[in-house]
Structure 1
Amino acid sequence: MSQIVYDALVIGSGAAGSFAVKELTAQGLSVLLLEAGPAVGPRDFDPARKKAPASSINIWERARATVKGQPIQARAAFFTERFSHFFVNDRKNPYTTPKDAPFLWIRGRQGGGRLHSFGRVLLRWTDEDFKIRSRTGKGVDWPISYDELAPLYDEVETYLGLYGNKDNVPTLPDGVYTNPASLTPAEQVFKQAVEDRWPDRHVVSWRYIAPDAERVPRPLREAQASGRLTIQYDAIVRRITTDEETGRATGAEFIDRNTGKRSTAHAATVVLAASPIESVRLLLNSASAKHPGGLGNSSGALGRYFMDQLPCLAFGSFSKAKGWALDEAAPTDPFYNPSGGIFIPRFGEPDVGRGDFDYQGSIGRSPVPEETDARLAFFGFGRMLPYADNRITLDAQRKDAWNIPVPHIRCVMHEEERALLRLQEETLISLIKEVGGDLEFIGSPMGLKEMGMGAFPEANAFSRFMFRKWFRKTMCMGAAIHETGGARMGETPEDSVLNPFNQLWDAPNLIVTDASAFPGSGVAGTTLTVMALTLRACRNLVDQYRNFTPVGGFEP
């Protein structure tokens, strides 16, 4: 491998990495993909793993995963043993946090990354997310706008074949949908009740992709089919290498996950797409004489302005609808449960309860007897502002199983976030109650509130006790799994790590296209925006690689 110099090296094969290799190989480049975990195939999606949990709390599945080495991963709000092999072993992949500020880092290392375990919901962001400083005077504006990303959103949505509907909601732009999405009868009743009561609140169906029957993500398959992609699985990247004189990226050092053997890969360009915390960790660990504070850290901003969205979780029932229904909008999958649900976007401007948050959930999708009130579940996502003291650093005292320094993660709510999270919870409570719902609990990093019969009234006393005991460790920052920032893009190299095309200011032949590039957290899922940004950044990188220009370019 040391004898080959690839046109491009891509690190990570998830949402960002898979689209990067698709785009770069389509442009005719020779590409090496380094993936820290194993290849994924049909054997990893055994239908026999699809078993109903012993209880709604899922206590024993979480306990078994904890014993096997996944005490952090098992805390994910919707963890199931069926997906346990798509999450890392926490003993081999540790990290640290301040004692008084826990952070839940949910991650997967395998071909396709977290594409095998995320909810497959793909939502557009708007200028309410991209231009938050212009709108509120807080945070920072992105150096790009919705209008610049809209054509790329179109392209990604068309390529993936989204399920969704034209909803004409001002705060959630419509996309390009290949198939319609459905609401259950209970969700239709809920939607009508909410929209009749509040004209500036909208309830829409999820906008999502169905499970891929081929199991390997489509962009990754297409890149492989091009004949221009080489994949090195089980390749844990230790650091990005740079030229001693120019400071440009030259490739990466990596360790074989199984044997411990070290190797070096060489490439003219590098795409870092390892997920926010991991990408920042790699840049920090790639310090050199030319980059003494870490690769790309001349501004001092590397690792800073790290965020996650503000999470809250609520369960209960909806008395205006009974029973449950199976959503058959998408083909039935032998491994995954049916997709679908409801989404309540950021409220319209005239609504007095409007805030920078939204809610994703489901009503009437959990099996219950026909005459029983429909079950409901909601997860709220709120905006977090970027703060310099929320940051990722290296913990020199702790190493992972491959002797690489682990990340130290600090992600703490300020008063702005605490106030917003209180409003986020209070709004959800009042909304559900007003339209005929009953909550059993709602919880967030600010604590657990039980109502009526309390959380999971059908569960046994021990399971309920353990739920309450573990809740604070489960519903802390990181629980939204929408982490952003740490290598943010900006207009100038003095206050950002990347330029508006995701290029490292200090080494412009390296781009970072996962959500570490985000200057703000937004309130919806990050995946669609990551995919769109990756296409945009890769095309710019290829143009500069082929047509060197003295300003902003690099020598190929």
Structure 2
Amino acid sequence: MPDPVYDALIVGAGASGMFAAQELTAQGLRVVQLEAGPEIGVGNFDPSSVRRQSDINLWQRIKAFVGGQGIQARAAFFDARQRHLFVNDRELPYTTPPDAPFVWIRSRQAGGRTHVFGRVLLRWTDDDFKMRSRSGRGVDWPIGYDDLVPYYEEVERSLALYGEQDNVPTLPDSLYGHRAAMTSAEQIFKRDVESRWPERKIVTWRYIGPEATRVLRPLRDAIASGSLDIRYNSIVSRVLTDEAGRQATGVEVIDRLTGQKTAVLARSVILCASPVESIRLMLNSASAHHPNGLGNSSGTLGRYFVDQLPCVVAGTYTKAKGWASADPAPADPFYGPSGGIYMPRFVAPDGRSADSDFAFQGSIGRYSTPDDADARFSFFGYGAMDADPDNRVTLNTNRRDAWGIPIPHIRCKIGEHDRTTLKQQIGAIVETIEQAGGRIDYVGSPLGLEEKGRGAYPDANPLSRFVFRKMFSRTMVMGAAIHEAGGARMGDDAKTSVLNGWNQSWDLPNLLVTDASAFASSGVSGTTLTIMAMTVRACRNLALRLKSEPRSET
């Protein structure tokens, strides 16, 4: 018997792929999901593998480097317990221009990077979606906040977020299943900051708690439907099209373990592989009808690639002692406690966003510290990056990965306006912390490392501190925020964008892209919740169209 022709084929099983599977199976469609990596379960999160970590994890990073994870080991939170949840960089290399390094942190397994991210899920606003209307820079998305609200709510109900009703206009509240909490140090910090600067709001993280099965609910629901066929270790190398090049018909797949090539057919294809991978796949699917890459009649495929502008600051908080977890979620023996605080865009007197295109995520008093010692803090800043057409993902056809696929070449270089934003961003967090009672040890960004007070990691051994300083310029570069986006952006004009407002390819309407490559701008908050909501919206629209068309049985 010939292989079935599925209603929908999903590439990837991460944040977007799992919600695509949940939505399409809930609509009664026959779905196949192709995941490049292995299946993941409880056995991959053995608590006994957790060892006490130092701040810098020097030897663990060196071991990972020797084992082929030289890029992955540069992630700020990298440690040995999660090493198997990151890719091997020797198998999956990429290149960058000499003057524009980019750290591409990635995972290949069911769940993707949802196993290694901070679990923080934040809504965007029209400050992000309508950037040009607000500031005169960038581009407006073809959709806005109101279009995504019902889908944000669906995702939030599914994941049962931890959070608090904060009523901050620059960071809309979510629907919460559980309450979040601040440490006593964070409560003092919030009081002092908001009393001094009413426009600077401090809120709790909005985040998901630990999942005992290690499979998030959307994928569990899709599997339970009986309508999902998941194929692991299935690397998609090309999207196939009909003879006219107007419809996607399926994909070419390489078995990760055997190297065998097969074709999987479907009435629609949804790319959820992550920004760089989805772009690479479309470029590698060039044909006579699509000579510059699949769906690239606009010439913009791969262009306008962005990340968020990163900065980091750490030190001690003189108004509080010791530490506490303050995480009301069930204890997780693998990851440990979560939670923290977030400072969104500043609020102008009229309730709109002030001229501050950055936000900060951090924690105070959650790091192990003697009871009589000042509490420790760290913050990571995220700034809006200009979408530059020269920042792009292309194919390096001179090199191939372990499965014979041309590797990506990534250019993501900050411009002069980005430098200005970074300087404002750093100035704002330094001012806030120092005038609220914090003592900064170091602050760094792609602009460089500045040590203050006791210097970076004052309690670490001299060798670790030396290596940290030497490696900082190779680590705190673009990509460090791990919020890369764009390259297959949506728009309202087929001449200037790759996708329409429903995440459909202008050139092949049954080809959707719903990961962050569809983003038209970088935003300043995490991308994951918006990816999930956008995917539900796009797939529901796709399902309505597919159910109105005749279904083939083979």
Q: CA deviation at 1:76?
A: 0.5
CA distance in 1, matches of 2:327, 2:122: 21
Match in the other structure for 1:435: 436
Match in the other structure for 1:553: none
Match in the other structure for 2:340: 341
Matches within 5 A, 1:122-133: 122-133=121-132
Match in the other structure for 1:121: 120
CA distance in 1, matches of 2:100, 2:452: 27
User: Which digits, 9 at most, give the CA deviation of each residue in 1:157-211, with x for residues without a partner?
Assistant: 0111000000011100011011110000110011111011101110000000001
CA distance in 2, matches of 1:515, 1:248: 23
Match in the other structure for 2:66: 67
Q: CA deviation at 1:548?
A: 5.4
Q: CA deviation at 1:440?
A: 0.5
Match in the other structure for 1:45: 45
Match in the other structure for 1:21: 21
User: Which digits, 9 at most, give the CA deviation of each residue in 1:232-281, with x for residues without a partner?
Assistant: 10001111011121421000001111111111100001110000000000
Percent identity between the aligned chains?
60
CA distance in 1, matches of 2:150, 2:265: 33
CA distance in 1, matches of 2:397, 2:367: 46
Match in the other structure for 1:316: 315
Are positions 1:34 and 2:34 aligned together? yes
Q: 1:103 to 1:60 in 2, by over 3 A?
A: same
Letter of the 1:418 counterpart: R
* TM-score (norm. length: structure 1): 0.97
User: Which digits, 9 at most, give the CA deviation of each residue in 1:326-359, with x for residues without a partner?
Assistant: 2231110111111100000100124998410000
Match in the other structure for 2:6: 6
Q: CA deviation at 1:3?
A: 2.2
Local SS of the residue matching 1:504 = coil
Matches within 5 A, 1:106-505: 106-350=105-349, 354-505=355-506
Match in the other structure for 1:552: none
CA distance in 1, matches of 2:21, 2:310: 32
User: Which digits, 9 at most, give the CA deviation of each residue in 1:492-535, with x for residues without a partner?
Assistant: 10000000000000100010000000000000000000000000
Are positions 1:56 and 2:65 aligned together? no
Q: CA deviation at 1:547?
A: 2.6
CA distance in 2, matches of 1:218, 1:153: 15
Letter of the 2:58 counterpart: I
CA distance in 1, matches of 2:129, 2:66: 42
CA distance in 1, matches of 2:547, 2:28: 11
CA distance in 2, matches of 1:24, 1:157: 18
Q: 1:311 to 1:72 in 2, by over 3 A?
A: same
CA distance in 2, matches of 1:252, 1:220: 22
CA distance in 2, matches of 1:538, 1:497: 17
CA distance in 2, matches of 1:474, 1:353: 30
CA distance in 1, matches of 2:357, 2:274: 24
Letter of the 1:91 counterpart: R
Q: CA deviation at 1:39?
A: 0.3
User: Which digits, 9 at most, give the CA deviation of each residue in 1:274-314, with x for residues without a partner?
Assistant: 00000000000000111111101000000000000000011
Letter of the 2:80 counterpart: E
Letter of the 1:23 counterpart: E
Letter of the 2:361 counterpart: Q
Q: CA deviation at 1:80?
A: 1.4
CA distance in 2, matches of 1:261, 1:247: 27
* Equivalent pairs, count: 549
Q: CA deviation at 1:476?
A: 0.2
* TM-score (norm. length: structure 2): 0.98
Q: CA deviation at 1:438?
A: 0.6
CA distance in 2, matches of 1:241, 1:269: 11
Contact conserved, 1:2 with 1:265, CA < 8 A, in 2?
Answer: no
Match in the other structure for 1:506: 507
Local SS of the residue matching 1:98 = coil
Local SS of the residue matching 1:163 = strand
Q: Which ranges in structure 2 are unaligned for 5 or more consecutive residues? A: none
Local SS of the residue matching 1:508 = coil
Q: CA deviation at 1:2?
A: 5.5
User: Which digits, 9 at most, give the CA deviation of each residue in 1:75-112, with x for residues without a partner?
Assistant: 00111111111100000000000011100100000011
CA distance in 2, matches of 1:174, 1:270: 33
Q: CA deviation at 1:221?
A: 1.1
Root mean square deviation of aligned Cα: 1.4
Are positions 1:102 and 2:122 aligned together? no
Letter of the 2:347 counterpart: G
CA distance in 1, matches of 2:325, 2:108: 32
Contact conserved, 2:245 with 2:290, CA < 8 A, in 1?
Answer: no
CA distance in 2, matches of 1:127, 1:306: 20
Local SS of the residue matching 1:6 = coil
CA distance in 1, matches of 2:467, 2:211: 36
Q: CA deviation at 1:546?
A: 2.3
Local SS of the residue matching 1:182 = coil
Point out the more displaced range, 240-249 or 295-304: 240-249
Q: CA deviation at 1:316?
A: 0.3
Point out the more displaced range, 169-178 or 346-355: 346-355
Contact conserved, 2:490 with 2:520, CA < 8 A, in 1?
Answer: yes
Local SS of the residue matching 1:471 = helix
CA distance in 2, matches of 1:246, 1:139: 32
CA distance in 2, matches of 1:398, 1:262: 20
Letter of the 1:487 counterpart: A
